Chains A and B, each alone.
Chain A
Amino acid sequence: MAKEFKTIKTEIRLPYELAYGATWTKFFEGMENEIIYGTKCSKCGRVLVPARSFCPRCFVNTDEWVETAQEGTLTAWSYVNYSYFGQPIKPPFIGALIRLDETDVDFLHLIGGFDLSDFDLVRKTVKNGMRVKAVWSDERKGHVLDIKYFEPA
């Protein structure tokens, strides 16, 4: 039998306090009040969500604020059925790209509102192109998870 070699268990924990700045602050204030904020680019006309301080394509400031629709269409989804250290959401869950109505990028969030432990039910329920709408948490903290998930509309 091959010799077993020793190992050392170690851990790194570091505290951070990250600045949101003006645009993210307003976006998360919106979350607290059940509003999804986007910003519109004056050059290409795209509505970006979450709100951005500038358009990544045109490289101009985006200061026109838009309250986006809370319903949209499912672009893509993935049923996540494995776990890792510090995973913020307990599996199984469904990560999804959602095109909110009248916006021009996909918003990344969760699909839920039904029994996710039954994979066959998930396969039957979730389809690309389906309509979904935001479901808000009762206790909102100015966080992206103030939306609990998007459920089939």
Chain B
Amino acid sequence: MKIWRWVFVGLLFCTALVLRIDAVPTERISGSAGDVLDDDPVGRLKVFVYELPSKYNRKILQKDSRCLTHMFAAEIFMHRFLLSSPVRTLNPEEADWFYTPVYTTCDLTPNGLPLPFKSPRMMRSAIQLISSNWPYWNRTEGADHFFVVPHDFGACFHYQEEKAIERGILPLLQRATLVQTFGQRNHVCLKEGSITVPPYAPPQKMQAHLIPEKTPRSIFVYFRGLFYDVGNDPEGGYYARGARAAVWENFKDNTLFDISTEHPTTYYEDMQRAIFCLCPLGWAPWSPRLVEAVIFGCIPVIIADDIVLPFADAIPWEEIGVFVDEEDVPNLDTILTSIPPEVILRKQRLLANPSMKQAMLFPHPAQPGDVFHQVLNGLARKLPHDKSVYLKPGEKILNWTAGPVGDLKPW
């Protein structure tokens, strides 16, 4: 009998050894949908990519190549990834999902900001094309189609929130799945079933600025960006719903808060030396700061009421970031210093998980676990399509003449 006891002890010892081999302690990430970050979508779904004339995609990109590097570049890279991905099928009959490659966020001003005024017409024209050339749109009125709309307020196609709310989501996209960066609960521009993705941040640029991991983190809170948008909101109160201005007014003389409007060349390096990085809303609730904070291991402090963060069902953001209500901004220092150190260390361990960092990146060529794969995972989780999405012949749900009169003009 004694031998068995020793065998048992030996087994325990061995398992203990095995578990400690982990070099950098990280924790597994499992969101509400389960432990799905590492799922492989290949084999679980099939995507058919429509062949649209190049005026919808390639010609627009040729006019302005900045579209490949700005934060809305997700639509272009998604297209490129799908064209060469194993989930792509050339036979539309066996496809589960249909993708329409139309670059709606590539009409740029000289400054580099996308103008959304023609986007509704462009989208409408594209849908008209696919509905007349292929039967798959009319079969479900778009319920098994997905579109990438990375603009400020998604498919509302406007940069100003009141206008976007007024327009609402483009009527023709009411039944389709939208892949967008904007996410806010109870907001017109986020419809149920949308997949939120992070904005595009150039992965090579971030990799080029990595510093050794053992550099001690000595900045408590870090933020670089505007607090007041003097050009567009001179009185204050509109921009960021006053939250950024509140951060400045309350903490500008606090040495724990390294906040300013400067553009340092060491921005990425500084983030790696900070414990908390503020990610407040701007004109829209999302920003690339979240991506940068996750890549550089800085705990994101999200100040945006009701925001829906990327891949909210796969990533448990509550456990990774700190959420602060906009009305609690004056007490931000109390909130952050009262977080117990064990919680902070746990958040840092979660952030150190390579799947977490991979899920925020758009590498080329695509790698397992990156944004493209997470989007496909999200789409795969929505399968199989409910029988009710298939319309009976002659049945029509979408109103093709709804929306502002200007949208009906051909593009």
- The answer to whether A and B assemble together is no
Q: A residues near B, CB below 8 A?
A: none
Q: B residues near A, CB below 8 A?
A: none
